[in-house]
Amino acid sequence: MSESDAQVSLRDLAASARSGDAAATDELMAAVHQLAVRYSRARLGRYPAAADAAHDAAQEVCVAVLTALPRYADRGAPFEAFVYGIASRKVADVQRGVMRRPVPTEELPDNADSSPGPEDVALADDQAGEVWALMDKLSDQHREILTLRVAVGMSAEETASALDMTPGAVRVAQHRALRKLRSLHDTGQAKP
């Protein structure tokens, strides 16, 4: 098959694929993938992990060609020119990514990172969700008292003043709210 036959063939496949022919789309994408892999390997060969980067770029090219195919208009140029135009942009994107290497730190930090790790954060979020699910089952007054006393850290007197209650009534309501929370928790109603 001559080069002009291949161009006509890809041009015909593109037209058939645009009209919804699944077999033509598959055949066109196989040809595009071959073109994209060859082009990507040639452009990315000098970079570390070039083979993987070339295959990743080829996949990106195939996706972009398939996405752009409905908008493709045959203006007499070979279909390969359309593919290579997309491939050059995708390979440039991959090159920029490959060229970004981690920057080594010159010194090790003096102290270990004491911030919670991902597992600790996930567990804390889960526990907070359970607490809020339980709190939602309390009356508005009990929820407000526990929020002010436990979460905010207000004294019974400060809470009483904020809620227009006596300090004794705040303590009794707090005790009842905590007892209700404990009961809900013990009966397994803590699921959000």
3 has pLDDT over 50: no
104 has pLDDT over 70: no
Contacts of 98 (CB under 8 A, 6+ apart): 44, 47, 48, 49, 53
Q: Report the pLDDT value the prediction gives residue 179, as an integer from 0 to 100.
A: 95
Over the stretch 13-24, which tens digit does the pLDDT of each residue have? 898 998 888 999
Q: Report the pLDDT value the prediction gives residue 33, as an integer from 0 to 100.
A: 94
Domains detected in the chain: 3-99 (1.10.1740.10), 118-186 (1.10.10.10)
Over the stretch 44-94, which tens digit does the pLDDT of each residue have? 776 666 778 888 899 999 999 999 998 888 887 788 878 888 988 898 888
d(CA 158, CA 175): 17
CB contact at 8 A, 44 and 54: yes
d(CA 149, CA 147): 6
Burial of 58 (0-12, 13-18, 19+ CB in 10 A): buried
Q: Report the pLDDT value the prediction gives residue 30, as an integer from 0 to 100.
A: 93
Over the stretch 119-167, which tens digit does the pLDDT of each residue have? 887 887 788 778 878 888 999 899 889 888 887 788 899 888 878 899 9
